[in-house]
Structure 1
C-alpha cells in the first residue's frame, strides 16, 4: 500500500530531554529546530538488504533543513507519549512502507547548524538513538515523496567513498553515525554489511 501522504508536521510535539534522556518538556517540531535548536529525542535507522548493501535516502526538497542531502535509511523523532519502538516502526512504514526487527546500537548527542555560513535557518540538536535492521528481497520499498526524493542501495565501501568524496551532499548526523558504526561496532555490522 502506498504511503504517499504527508507524515511530518511543524506543530507535531517533540520530546525535549536532558543529556540523560530524561523528559523535560515538549515543543513543536519547528520551534525545536529554530535557531540553535532545543535538545530533543530522535532516532536513525540503517537498513541492509541480503546482498549486504545499506539503503540511503535523499531527503525531499521540501525539507526545511538539509533538503536533497543524502542520509541514512530513515530518521525522525518519537512523538509525545510514543516509545522509541513505536516511533521507529511507525516511521519505517510512513517513509518506506516496510517494517522489520530493529537492533539498538548506541545513543549520542549532537548539534549541527544548517547553512551556518548563511542566514540563520535552524539546527538539529538531538539525543539520537541509532538502530540497524535487515529487509529481505520480498519487501518492496514504496517511498513517500513528501519525505524522500530518491533512494539507493550502496555497499559499505561505496558508502565510505560517498562520505569522503561528497561530504557537502551528506547530512551531518548520517556521516557521524556511519563512521562510528564502522569504527566502533564492526562486529554488529558484519552479519549485515559486505
Structure 2
C-alpha cells in the first residue's frame, strides 16, 4: 500500500494574502479563501519533466473545489506562512505525486492570474512558475490527483494552444510564456529568485 507524507490538513492550512505589488498583507484559512471574491494570494505552479523532455500532466481530482477533473500542469499549491517557495514545491510534489525532484528551478517569477468558474468561484493568485526534473515515475495521490500522463513537450503545447487539449486557465496562460523561452525546456534559463514577489522572498 502506498503511503504519502503527512500534509497539513485543510482545516488548519493557511495561505499568504498579498497586495498588487506582491507584498504579504496577512493570511487566511485555505478552506474559506476561495469564493466569489477570492483575495489575491501567493501560490506556485510546477512543470515536471523527465530525462526525455516529456512533461507530466495531471488531472485534478473530481472533488477539488476549483476546476475539478480538469487537466493541468504537473503540480500546483500554496506555500504555508513562512515557507520558502522551493520548499513548498518539494512538499507538494512529494504529497501529490510521490516524487522527489532532482532539481527545482524558478522560471516565471512574477506570473499572476485571475480566473472565474461557471459557478462564480474565483481563483486569484500570484503564482510563480517552476521547472522540476525527475528520474522516477509518479505515484499520484488520489486525494489530489485524478490521473497523470507524460506527453512530449511540443505535442502538449501544440494541443494546448490550439484547443485540442482542454486545460486549466492558469496553465493556458503559462504555456505561451514558457514556449517563448525556447523549444527545449531543458535549456530554459532559470530566473533570479531576487525577482520573486516580496512575499516569496522573505518570511511572511
**TM-score strictly above 0.5:** yes
Aligned to 1:19: 20
Give 1:7 deviation, angstroms: 5.8
Matched, 1:165 2:163: yes
Aligned to 1:130: 129
Q: Output one character per residue of 1:25-73: Cα deviation in whole Å (capped at 9) or x when no partner.
A: 0111132211131100000000111111100000000101101100000
TM (normalized to structure 2)?
A: 0.82
Give the total of aligned pairs.
184
Instruction: Tell me how far apart the structure 1 counterparts of residues 64 and 6 of structure 2 sit (CA, whole Å).
Output: 15
On the 8 A contact 1:58/1:148 being kept in 2, the answer is: yes
Aligned to 2:198: none
Aligned to 1:149: 146
Q: Output one character per residue of 1:141-190: Cα deviation in whole Å (capped at 9) or x when no partner.
A: 111001001001111222123312346x310001111111002x117725
Unaligned runs of 5+ in 1: none
Aligned to 1:95: 96
Instruction: Tell me how far apart the structure 1 counterparts of residues 76 and 132 of structure 2 sit (CA, whole Å).
Output: 13
Indicate how the Cα distance of structure 1 residues 6 and 79 shifts in structure 2: closer, same or farther if over 3 A, else same: closer
Indicate how the Cα distance of structure 1 residues 11 and 123 shifts in structure 2: closer, same or farther if over 3 A, else same: farther
Instruction: Tell me how far apart the structure 1 counterparts of residues 66 and 11 of structure 2 sit (CA, whole Å).
Output: 12
Indicate how the Cα distance of structure 1 residues 188 and 31 shifts in structure 2: closer, same or farther if over 3 A, else same: farther
Aligned to 1:186: 182
Aligned to 2:42: 41
Partner SS, residue 31 of structure 1: helix
TM (normalized to structure 1)?
A: 0.86
1:174 maps to which of 171, 175, 197:
171
Instruction: Tell me how far apart the structure 2 counterparts of residues 76 and 32 of structure 1 sit (CA, whole Å).
Output: 14
Partner SS, residue 48 of structure 2: strand
Partner SS, residue 157 of structure 1: helix
On the 8 A contact 2:5/2:94 being kept in 1, the answer is: no
Partner SS, residue 125 of structure 1: strand
Aligned to 2:107: 105
